[in-house]
């Protein structure tokens, strides 16, 4: 047999194996599909030189999705998306540089199979906000309770083993979301390899190596069944003359370019986007942030809105509800109640804009994305964390809560201090100790407990309370919520004292008391007299959650 013939046979076999592999390699439903492209050209600064590189996906049922691709260094480009139908998908690329044969008019197909994962993000699909809803759901309509932890620096500093340890703990403890930073910022000026995400403060350049390092961290979040919530543009002002937060110092065009790059890069993951972090988004900065939000997530100029739910994370004690009420790109009204347990922070949650204006705004989830951090001050206790969390989820229609620890967010290790935060890290546990703090564990209990209820139907019902103890003592505030059908009522009592509620429908209820410290539930008794329900917590507890269910 000639050498030439043998070579032909070898090439045929290789081609056949490649074809079979391509035919039978399938992407599970809701998992990340990724395809790589090789540009036929080099570009000096790709994010400026290639203004549009998009891929038009067509689903098995004929629906189309336009997804942006992204530059990944040298001549490498990629696209990522999470398919939402099983079967054969097709795609075609479009590039603003129509002479680039590697990026323009490329075509392909891929197969999507059923997903056998045990995790809800793959069993029930991506996170969405149904129109007219105060809560989030999965794509198939299954309610999604937001229970987040702020690991701002975790993606920048952690080792692979540390990140696994942290994510395993949060997943096992009932958390569902991880909030993190995606660039250098005030609290972290580089990643563990000494890299920064971007260079420049006017015209910018992207560092793909930084984001390749970040890719693995985001992959792991989803691997543990958790939703990734990246802050795209941290927005705190300069510190000691150093401009460290891209959301603050970048011009609008560059802020939009940077955010769009990250949305393209992580749009195939299970994510919820947080556009800005810790910024001021009203007054003289209102139009800037509206322009950025519309530029990244709007559907103007014929561009399809990128996939994913969008939130804002404002600075402490600020409120953006009315100002952004008519911005269609904003799905979650995030707020930050502040890092203390004083009257100002507590009243902001229980008696402020959230509690008094939620029903006067278009329906959206309202989530406290940064309440008081455990160990942020010597007087902050697990009780402060618990109270802030329960007050927050009952101050508006229930949708979720975020937890933070002062040793986790900066990813503190032995001998380290928090960057650009003075002495605020003194006395804080290290990250690996902080994941075991009681407040963090109890917020996990909260999430697990709420998921046993029809929490998505709970709305504030302060009018049912006969006497509000919080009118005399701010931190004794009792929160009350009730489902739309009146079948379930939930009340948080920060002190172990009896509660009286108006029985407006003259209904019989059964009672359960949940101990938010021990994670134990016990039955209780309800007394009825002259249209008033009375219940007394069991002995021995500090704060309690009362659940009343309509009797048969």
pLDDT tens digit string along 359-410? 999 999 999 999 999 999 989 999 999 999 999 999 999 999 999 999 999 9
- Dihedral sign (CA 102, 108, 113, 119): positive
Tell me the average pLDDT of the chain. Answer: 93
- What's the pLDDT score for residue 237? 83
Per domain, the residue ranges of the chain are: 26-114, 121-456, 461-550
Listed in sequence order, the DSSP H helices in 38-105 are: 46-49
CA distance 65 to 59: 8
Domain 26-114 matches domain 461-550 at the CATH topology level: yes
CATH 1.10.10.10 correct for 461-550: no
Residue with tokens 């006067």: 360
Contacts for 89 with CB less than 8 Å, ≥ 6 apart: 33, 57, 58, 59, 60, 83, 109, 110, 111, 112
Judged against a pLDDT cut of 70, whether residue 20 lies above it is answered with no
Judged against a pLDDT cut of 80, whether residue 504 lies above it is answered with no
Sheet containing strand 520-524, edge to edge, reads 458-460, 479-483, 488-493, 544-550, 509-515, 520-524
DSSP state of 379: T
Q: What is the largest CA-CA distance in the chain?
A: 103
Query: Which of these ranges, 4-8, 148-152, 477-481, has the smallest mean pLDDT?
Result: 4-8
Full DSSP string of 267-290? TTSSBEEEEEEEE--SGGGHHHHH
pLDDT tens for 171-210 read 999 999 999 999 999 999 999 999 999 999 999 999 999 9
CA distance 463 to 502: 8
pLDDT tens for 127-147 read 999 999 999 999 999 999 999
CA distance 218 to 212: 10
Do the bridges between strand 143-144 and strand 136-138 make them parallel or antiparallel, or are there none, so unpaired?
Answer: antiparallel
Structurally, what CATH architecture does the domain formed by 26-114 represent? Sandwich (2.60)
pLDDT band at 34 (very low <50, low <70, confident <90, very high): very high
CATH 3.20.20.80 correct for 121-456: yes
Q: How many CB atoms are closer than 10 A to CB 442?
A: 24
Helices (H) and strands (E) in the chain, counts: 14, 30
* Cα within 13 Å of Cα(308), Cβ side: 28
Query: Which of these ranges, 3-17, 29-43, 224-238, 458-472, has the smallest mean pLDDT?
Result: 3-17
Calculate the alpha carbon distances from 250 to 198, 240, 259, 447 in Å: 11, 18, 11, 37
CA distance 121 to 127: 8
Judged against a pLDDT cut of 60, whether residue 4 lies above it is answered with no
CA distance 61 to 233: 36
CA distance 84 to 65: 11
pLDDT tens for 514-535 read 999 999 999 999 999 989 999 9
pLDDT band at 9 (very low <50, low <70, confident <90, very high): very low
Contacts for 136 with CB less than 8 Å, ≥ 6 apart: 127, 128, 129, 143, 144, 146, 272, 309, 332, 365, 399, 400
CA distance 419 to 412: 10
pLDDT band at 15 (very low <50, low <70, confident <90, very high): very low
- What's the pLDDT score for residue 219? 98
- What's the pLDDT score for residue 303? 57
pLDDT tens for 219-277 read 999 999 999 999 999 998 877 667 789 999 999 999 999 999 999 999 999 999 999 99
pLDDT band at 17 (very low <50, low <70, confident <90, very high): very low
CA distance 95 to 39: 10
pLDDT band at 23 (very low <50, low <70, confident <90, very high): very low
Average pLDDT, integer, range 271-294: 97
- What's the pLDDT score for residue 382? 97
**By the 8 A CB rule, do 507 and 550 touch?**
yes
């Amino acid at each position: 047999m000639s050498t030439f013939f043998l070579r032909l046979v070898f090439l045929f076999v290789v081609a056949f194996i490649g074809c079979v592999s391509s035919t039978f390699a399938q992407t599970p439903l809701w998992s990340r599909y990724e395809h790589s492209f090789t540009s036929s050209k080099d570009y000096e600064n790709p994010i400026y030189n290639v203004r549009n590189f998009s891929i038009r996906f067509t689903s098995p049922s004929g629906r189309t999705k336009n997804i942006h691709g992204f530059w990944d260094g040298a001549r490498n480009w990629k696209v990522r998306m999470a398919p939402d139908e099983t079967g054969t998908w097709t795609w075609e690329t479009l590039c603003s540089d129509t002479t680039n044969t590697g990026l323009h008019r490329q075509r392909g197909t891929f197969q999507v199979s059923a997903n056998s994962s045990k995790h809800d993000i793959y069993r029930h699909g991506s996170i969405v906000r149904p129109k007219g809803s105060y809560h989030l759901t999965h794509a198939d309509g299954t309610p999604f309770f937001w229970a987040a932890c702020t690991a701002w620096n975790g993606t920048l500093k952690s080792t692979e083993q540390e990140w696994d340890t942290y994510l395993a703990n949060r997943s096992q403890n009932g958390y569902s979301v991880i909030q993190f930073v995606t660039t250098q910022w005030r609290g972290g000026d580089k990643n563990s390899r000494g890299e920064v995400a971007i260079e420049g403060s006017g015209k910018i350049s992207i560092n793909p190596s930084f984001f390749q390092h970040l890719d693995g961290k985001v992959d792991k979040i989803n691997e543990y069944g958790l939703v990734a919530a990246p802050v795209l543009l941290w927005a705190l002002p300069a510190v000691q003359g150093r401009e460290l937060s891209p959301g603050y110092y970048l011009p609008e065009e560059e802020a939009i370019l940077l955010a769009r790059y990250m949305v393209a890069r992580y749009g195939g993951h299970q994510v919820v986007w947080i556009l800005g972090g810790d910024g001021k988004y009203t007054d003289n900065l209102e139009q800037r942030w509206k322009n950025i939000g519309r530029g990244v997530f709007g559907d103007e100029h014929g561009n399809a809105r990128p996939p994913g739910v969008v939130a804002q994370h404002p600075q402490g004690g600020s409120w953006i509800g009315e100002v952004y009420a008519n911005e269609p790109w904003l799905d979650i009204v995030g707020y930050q109640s502040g890092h203390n347990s004083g009257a100002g922070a507590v009243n902001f949650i229980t008696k402020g804009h959230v509690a008094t204006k939620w029903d006067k705004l278009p329906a959206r989830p309202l989530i406290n994305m940064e309440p008081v951090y455990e160990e942020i001050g010597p007087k902050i206790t697990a009780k402060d964390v618990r109270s802030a969390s329960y007050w927050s989820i009952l101050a508006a229609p229930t949708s979720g809560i975020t937890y933070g620890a002062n040793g986790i967010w900066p990813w503190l290790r032995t001998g380290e201090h928090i960057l650009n935060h003075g002495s605020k890290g003194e006395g804080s546990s290290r990250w690996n100790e902080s994941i075991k703090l009681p407040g963090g564990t109890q917020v996990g209990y909260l999430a697990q407990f709420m998921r046993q209820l029809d929490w998505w139907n709970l709305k504030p019902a302060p009018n049912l309370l006969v006497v509000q103890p919080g009118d005399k003592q701010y931190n004794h505030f009792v929160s009350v919520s009730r489902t739309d059908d009146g079948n379930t009522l939930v009340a948080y009592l920060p002190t172990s004292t009896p509660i009286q509620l108006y029985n407006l429908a003259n209904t019989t209820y059964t009672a359960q008391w949940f101990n938010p410290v021990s994670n134990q539930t016990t039955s209780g008794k309800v007394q009825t007299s002259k249209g008033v329900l009375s219940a007394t917590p069991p002995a021995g507890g500090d704060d309690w959650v009362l659940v009343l269910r309509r009797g048969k």
